[in-house]
Structures are given as structure tokens and as C-alpha cells.
Copies of this chain bind each other. A is one copy, B any other.
Amino acid sequence: MISIALLGFGCVGSGTAEVLTENKKLIESRLGCEYQIKYILDLRDFPDSPFGSLVVHDFNTILNDPEVSVVAEMMGGSHPAYDFTKACLEAGKSVVTSNKEVVAKFGVELCEIAAQKGVRYMFEASVGGGIPIIRPMMTDLASNKINKINGILNGTTNYILTSMRDDGKSFDEALGEAQKLGYAEANPAADVEGTDAARKTVILGAIATGKLVSPDAIYKEGITKIELDDVELAQTLGYSIKLIGHAEEKDGKLLALVSPMAVPTSNPLSRIDDVFNGILVNANMVGEVMFYGPGAGKLPTASAVVADIVDIIAKREVAPTPVGWVNAAAEDLADVADYSCPRLVIVEEDGKKSAYVTDEMTEAEAKTLKAKAVYRVL
């Protein structure tokens, strides 16, 4: 019997309890062994939940119980999530997480501790919610050098941009609607300013290159300044404006950025709409593959958390392969000024806006354009 502890009983935490319970028979038959949720750590009590009796308030109950071999951290935020994760790994427990903030900031250290202790630190749910992306990149694309990743990694902003394009809403109107529907938080900054997408971008960049860069160190532009006119003009030229997380290896350096981009209709990312995410991976042998699905949400994200738990249990007698990331040094990072692409240019003359698309140009050249707005073209 494998004993699992859940840290956090919010949206993803309660979803994880549900997946582990609802599909228990099926998962146990696949694993050939039984499991139980032994503890759920939360500050609150949940007297009405069927899982209420498992709730504990003291992390040490979990840490000091040698029966608990797998811990799922779904608390969000850096602290105490990072501290609890580190303590669990050091105590020889494997940890899975949906917490992109912790992976993006502390992934190198946590993977190292896991390797030293012979346990696993896994984070399929940290990028793309329920979409299989981390494990496929590490296994199915293990025969490839990954050249480039472009992803729609944030459902909230994608909902807003889709609503602007398809329903003619302004940014503010679309954001308000997203908040009403529960897709955006009361303080939407982490989403609309690209912080969330930046965290996911650096995780994907690390899988591609082995180098994890701080999300604070990459170029980042959100969607707050996008005007409805721009979205509509882009559409008349055959482009959808999407918030894209981009990572590529360029001359041995990692180039990563988050920015609204004009995506041509011919690119499958242009049709990833609403709250869905899509991640397009370009690799040297397979060419381009895309992974699409629900990038957030209780059960989809929990599905990915439990996939990692299942993987850990299935391989419990196998020595883990170390992830082997290093923190990117300043010289590992390409200058974003080297980012070269065509530009979709919005100009205004006599109060009338129009748009055109340029040939490929560098950031420096783009800055010399006389324009109301300039969008990178994917």
C-alpha cells in the first residue's frame, strides 16, 4: 500500500483527491498495487468533504510519517510550498507539483536534491494544465534536439484575446467577462502581464536546453495595451493576436520571451481559442508537433498531477534519471535584441488606422518603425 499526502486542498488539491478516488480501481489495476490518500494538509477544515477526516494542519505529521512516500504539492506561491517540497525530498519522499512558480524559481535545486536522495521531483501539471507536454518532451522527443517552442500557455489571456477577436469586445470588457466567469482573478496582473506565461516558458526552455533561466530575467510583455482595433486589423490580414511564450536555442544560447504575437492562420496556434492552451514544439527530426487541451481547471490539472503520482508509483523500484538542469548564467542568455521576425505594424493617419506586415527584422530595426503599435509575427 502506497501512502500519498496532498499539500493544499484548494482547486487542484481537491481535484487530485477526486481523480485518485474516482479512478482508483482503474489506476490500481494499471499499477498492480494499492494506494491511499493518507493526509491532506490545509489551514482550513473541511467538515463537509468526504476527505475531511484526512485533513491535518501540521506539516510535520506528513514529513515525519515514513509511510508517506509520495507528496503532491498544490499550494501555489513560493512559500511555504518550496520549503515543504525541499523538506519532503530531503526526507526521501518523491514530490509532484502543479506549482509553476516553485519549479521556475527553484527547479534546479529541487531536482538536484531529488537526484541526491534517489527520489523524484515531477511537474507535468506546472505547464499546460492537463495537457501532456513535459513527459512527452522528455520521452517521446528524446530522439530529437528541440529547436524551438511556441506556446499559448495562459488560458485567461487567451480567453480575453479570443473574446476581443470574435466578439469585438475591448480588453477591459473582455477582462471583466473573464472575471465574471471565474477565468480571471480579481487581481489579474500575473495573467495579463505575462508573469504566469513567463514561468511556464522558462520551464519549457529548461526542458529543451537543460538551462533554467529566472522568469524575471526574460523579456516579457503582457496584453494590457492591445487595442480592439489592432486585433481586428490583424484579423483582416489573416492573423490572430495571441500571447506567446517563446523559447529557442540560438547559437548555443537560450532566447526566451513572452509577448503578444500576430499568428498567421496557417499556424495551428492561431486556432487555439478560449481558455485552451496549445504548445507547438519544433524538433530537429520530427519537425513540428503540437499539444492541445485544457491549460487549467480543477480536474484537468489534477489529471496531470495524478499522472506523475502514477509514474512514481510504477517506477518505485527503479533508480530515477536525474533531470540534470543547471541555472542559466547571464552569458547563457541570448539578447532579446537578436530576436528577428516580420512585424505587423499598425499605423494611424488622419484618425484612420491601417496595418501592414514587414519582412523579417531585428528588434532594433523594429524600434525605428513609425507606428501606433508593432506586433511580432510568429
For residue A288, CB closer than 8 A to chain B, the reply is yes
Interchain CB contact under 8 A, B304 and A140: yes
Expressed in whole angstroms, the Cα–Cα distance for A309 and B139 within the complex equals 11
8 Å CB interface, A281-335 against B: 283-294, 297, 299-300, 302-307, 309-311, 314-315, 317-318, 321
Interchain CB contact under 8 A, A299 and B286: yes
Interchain CB contact under 8 A, A292 and B268: yes
For residue A117, CB closer than 8 A to chain B, the reply is no
For residue A352, CB closer than 8 A to chain B, the reply is no
- Find A293's partner among B271, B289, B300 (CB 8 Å cutoff): B289
Interchain CB contact under 8 A, A290 and B292: yes
Interchain CB contact under 8 A, B291 and A289: yes
Of A22-30, A100-108, A211-219, A231-239, the one contacting chain B is: A22-30
Q: How far is the CB of A118 from chain B (nearest CB, A)?
A: 15
Interchain CB contact under 8 A, A143 and B285: no
For residue A130, CB closer than 8 A to chain B, the reply is yes
Chain B residues with Cβ below 8 Å from A284 are 22-23
Interchain CB contact under 8 A, A311 and B271: no
Q: A285-B302, A286-B294 are in contact. Are A315 and B318 (CB under 8 A)?
A: yes
For residue A79, CB closer than 8 A to chain B, the reply is no
Chain B residues with Cβ below 8 Å from A285 are 19, 22-23, 130, 299-300, 302-303, 306
For residue A132, CB closer than 8 A to chain B, the reply is yes
Expressed in whole angstroms, the Cα–Cα distance for A136 and B305 within the complex equals 14
| Number of chain A residues close to chain B: CB under 8 A | 52
Chain B residues with Cβ below 8 Å from A32 are 321
- Find A131's partner among B144, B272, B289, B305 (CB 8 Å cutoff): B289
Chain B residues with Cβ below 8 Å from A288 are 293-294
Q: A124-B140, A141-B132 are in contact. Are A286 and B300 (CB under 8 A)?
A: yes
| Shortest Cβ distance from A294 into B: residue | B287
Chain B residues with Cβ below 8 Å from A27 are 142-143
8 Å CB interface, A156-181 against B: none
Expressed in whole angstroms, the Cα–Cα distance for A272 and B23 within the complex equals 32
Interchain CB contact under 8 A, B289 and A139: no
For residue A372, CB closer than 8 A to chain B, the reply is no
Known interface pairs A136-B136, A287-B299, A315-B318; 14 further A-B residue pairs with C-beta atoms within 8 A, sorted by A's residue number: A26-B145, A27-B142, A132-B289, A139-B139, A139-B311, A142-B311, A268-B272, A285-B299, A286-B293, A286-B300, A287-B294, A287-B300, A289-B291, A292-B292
A-B contact pairs, 24 of them (CB 8 A): A23-B144, A30-B142, A124-B140, A130-B285, A130-B289, A132-B132, A132-B141, A139-B139, A139-B310, A140-B304, A142-B310, A143-B305, A143-B306, A143-B310, A144-B303, A271-B271, A285-B303, A286-B294, A286-B303, A289-B291, A290-B292, A290-B293, A292-B292, A318-B318
Q: Which 7 residue pairs across A and B have the least CB separation, nearest first?
A: A132-B140, A289-B293, A143-B306, A130-B286, A286-B303, A290-B292, A285-B303
